[in-house]
Structure 1
Amino acid sequence: MPIITTTEELAAFCARAAEQPFVTVDTEFLRERTYWAQLCLIQIAVPEGAGEPEAVAVDPLAEGLDLTPFWELLADERVVKVLHAGRQDLEIFWVQGKVVPRPLFDTQIAAMVCGYGEQVGYDTLVRKITGRSIDKSSRFTDWSRRPLTEEQIAYALADVTHLRDVYLALSRQLAESGRAAWVEEELAQLADPRSYVVDPEEAWTRIRTRSQSGEFLAVVRELARFREEYARRRDIPRNRVFKDDALLEIASSRPRNARELSRSRLLLRDARKGEIAEGILAAVAAGLACPPDKRPRVESAPQRGPKQEALADLLRVLLKTKAAEAGVAPRLIASAADLDAMAAGA
């Protein structure tokens, strides 16, 4: 199985790939114990008939390997980069290589427009389009361990070799249906680097809460900011600092000292002392001290009575029917929030 471990091999393959109309790309990574994803393998395939090898696995953990040729290939606007459900891959490319592939084609997004459903999985899409089944035996591999077996590499390469056929089939369907432009807005959002690094000041917006209290939300914002910065600095998952439910509990109880903080039922024992505890108390104090005009604001959800509830249900049925008739995923026509707003305005 072809696996690239040197910069020279990578540069040679990427130079050949740069002469092709498209390449398919995937990655294997670990993220269970870190804030930043640990890139463990990169898979690249060129079109069939473009010379051997057609598909390679690049070992980013190989000593001395410089990924610059790969980053340059991703940035080459002559070559379409094809991924499936590529958001996490793109985050890795941006964080490590400071590049987002352009032009970009995501087969999961294209599949929504072509009638394969919303967020269709790669295995399902391959089976529906090519009739082939993918061996899943290496799905839960620890990709950081070396050496990789031939079975592991074969599994990894299947993620890009079958993707070629999926891309070509979806491209034809988009062209024949006249819907190629429908995916452009979704792909433009996917290619926006701003979506791949969380601004600590905006981390609170990812936390679900029903409270509309400005003071409460100000404390939530400060706690989320501290957690994001601490997790990033220590390269540990956010939930290893404290989970969302603990954050919301603290924002409600608003402890002012270590004794009050120790009463938290949801906070991990290690977070009740030391740097994390100090950061929590400082965040609570900062949130409480925030002037009213600087507090976060959350727009209230539209109020709905029985009439609006019934109308919202009817709109959902209508949306599902029309989406099925058009052969597209419902969210490409309207979101749940759109339907609720329409019903509330009736």
Structure 2
Amino acid sequence: MRTLKTTEELAAFCAQAAEGPYVTLDTEFLRERTYYSRLCLIQMALPGDGEAVLIDPIEGGDALSLEPLYELYRNTDVVKVFHAARQDLEIFFHEGNVFPEPLFDTQVAAMVCGFGEQVGYETLVRKIAHGAVDKSSRFTDWSRRPLSDAQQTYALADVTHLRVVYEFLAAELEKSGRTHWVTEELSVLTDPATYQVDPENAWRRVKTRTNSGRFLAVVRELARFRETHAKTRNIPRNRVYKDDALLELASTKPTNLQDLGKSRMLLRDARKGAIADGILAAVEAGLAVPSEDYPKPDTSRDKLQVNPALADLLRVLLKAKSETASVAQKLIATSAELDMIASGRRDVPALKGWRAEVFGDDALRLCAGEIGLTARGTSVKVIEL
């Protein structure tokens, strides 16, 4: 196996890749100690029995620029194939401000092709490539050098078997006319907004049990400070303070270091220095927010007037449609979306795009009383009324 550690080596390999129809890719990274994922290794494989290589940004250091890879990402003649690409794409977006185009995600494609929800790579390798992946190296420290033979073998398996999986799924999608379904799904993965966390809205990720405006104002300021502090110092947000500590602080509203010292949830390092100063300033800022500027929680679901019988029928319809189309139910519609439809909402993803073809159009007809459902043996059929 070959490991690329210089820009020249990477450029030569990417030039080879540019001559083919696709290239398979994967990454190994660490995120336990940083806000942004630390890229430790990149794996690439050429089509068929072509060469598979490791790209080592750690040992490469200053001698290795990833620009040749980013140039390949911009080459729309070559499909870039990943499995469960979200975290990989987040790394490349933050490292190089680039997304692979065009992109193919075998996890998404597998859900469209009837392999179930969030299907794992090992399952696809076993069912499609009739191979096996040794998972023993999955949770090793990919930042340590030298890499063991087992690590390198595991890393390359992530892209060599992927070639067979990709070719099978791409052919299935072409045969069924569903290629555009996957393209619609992947548009979310190549949207910069997917990977950007605005400190102003970080509070919305914190689960609270109260809608008190004053309380939420303090939560907002504490979440804003935590997000900004974590990003600027590249440390995990939970290393600043965890959600349970944030909620405790919003409840107790400390005004000085002595108050902070009484916290049960706060880490010791957060009771002094920059974090402590930031907490006290955030609490003060939250308490100073005028009532008209309090954060407004999303209560849209609370206000839904759901017809429970209709919601149940929609769930039965979804199950029938997903089985007929061999598509994972959760990929078509979530439980929350079914409740929205049953309450009269029509601005939901389940009623748009390819989902409308599979489920949404008939869901609307069911709501309008134009069709009904009947059980025949072990299956459910749609009947005209």
TM-score w.r.t. length of structure 1: 0.93
Give the corresponding residue for 1:117: 116
How many equivalent pairs are there? 342
User: Contact 1:220–1:251 (CA<8 Å) still a contact in 2?
Assistant: yes
| Partner Cα distance (1:248, 1:173) in 2 | 49
Question: Does structure 1 conserve the Cα–Cα contact (< 8 Å) formed by 2:304 and 2:340?
Answer: no
Match of residue 239 from structure 1: 238
Secondary structure at 1:33's aligned position in 2? coil
Q: How does 1:249-264 map to 2 (within 5 A)?
A: 249-264=248-263
Match of 2:46 in 1: 46
SS in 1 for 2:81: strand
- Who is 1:65 aligned against? 64
What's the counterpart of residue 23 of structure 2? 23
Provide the rounded CA distance (Å) in 2 between the counterparts of 1:245 and 1:309. 34
The question of 1:126 aligning with 2:125 is answered yes
- Distance in 1, matches of 2:276 and 2:95, equals 31
Counterpart of 2:199?
Answer: 200
Q: In the alignment, residue 195 of structure 1 is paired with which amino acid?
A: T
Counterpart residue type for residue 116 of structure 2? G
How far apart are 1:174 and its partner, in Å? 0.9
- Where 1:69 maps in the other structure, the secondary structure is helix
User: d(CA) in 2 for partners of 1:124 and 1:239?
Assistant: 33
1:160-175 to structure 2, matched below 5 A, reads 160-175=159-174
Matching residue of 2:352: none
Residue in structure 2 matched with residue 228 of structure 1 by the alignment = 227
Give the 3-state SS of the residue equivalent to 1:35 in structure 2: coil
After TM superposition, list the pairs within 5 Å mapping 1:130-209 onto structure 2: 130-209=129-208
Report the equivalent of 2:98. 99
For residues 145 and 274 of structure 1, what CA distance do their matches in structure 2 show? 32
- Given that 1:302 and 1:340 are in contact with CA atoms closer than 8 Å, whether structure 2 keeps it comes out as no
Unmatched segments (≥5 aa) in structure 1: none
- Contact 1:126–1:166, Cα closer than 8 Å, also in 2: yes
User: Which residue of 1 is the match for residue 80 of structure 2?
Assistant: 81
User: Is 1:5 paired with 2:5?
Assistant: yes
- Give how far 1:255 is off: 2.0
For residues 57 and 263 of structure 1, the distance between their equivalents in structure 2, rounded to whole angstroms, comes to 50
Letter in 2 for 1:13: F
Q: Distance in 2 between matches of 1:68 and 1:227?
A: 33
Structure with the bigger RCO (C-alpha within 8 Å, sep 6+) is 1
Matched, 1:295 2:294: yes
- Partner secondary structure for residue 42 of structure 2: strand
Q: Report the more deviating stretch, 4-13 or 263-272.
A: 263-272
Question: Deviations 1:125-171 (Å, cap 9, x if unpaired)?
Answer: 21121221111121122111111122211110110111111111111
Which structure: larger Rg?
2
Q: 1:214 to 1:185 in 2, by over 3 A?
A: farther
- Cα distance in structure 1, aligned partners of 2:87 and 2:319: 29
Give the superposition deviation at 1:217: 2.0
| TM-score for the superposition, normalised by structure 2 | 0.84
Aligned partners of 2:123 and 2:271: how far apart in 1?
46
**Are the aligned partners of 2:117 and 2:331 in contact in 1 as well (CA < 8 Å)?**
no
> 2:44, 2:52 within 8 Å by CA — same for their partners in 1?
yes
**Which moves more between the two structures, 245-254 or 29-38?**
245-254
CA contact (8 A) 1:39 1:60 kept: yes
Distance in 2, Cα, partners of 1:98 & 1:234: 20
1:281-340 CA-to-partner distances (Å, cap 9, x unmatched) read 1111212222333332123223579x8556545543442332122211112322221122
Deviation at 1:181, TM superposition (A): 1.2
Q: Identical aligned pairs, as a percentage? A: 63
Contact 2:216/2:294 (<8 A) preserved: yes
SS of corresponding position for 1:211: coil
Q: What one-letter code is carried by the residue in structure 2 that aligns with 1:11?
A: A
Contact kept, 8 Å, 1:303 with 1:344, in 2: the verdict is no
**Structure-1 separation of matches of 2:315 and 2:271:** 46
- Cα distance in 2 for partners of 1:185, 1:142 equals 35
- Alpha-carbon distance in 1 for matches of 2:170, 2:101: 17
Query: Comparing 161-170 with 216-225, which one deviates more in the overlay?
Result: 216-225
Q: Secondary structure at the match of 2:135?
A: coil
Shift of 1:80: 0.9
Write the letter of the residue equivalent to 2:318.
L
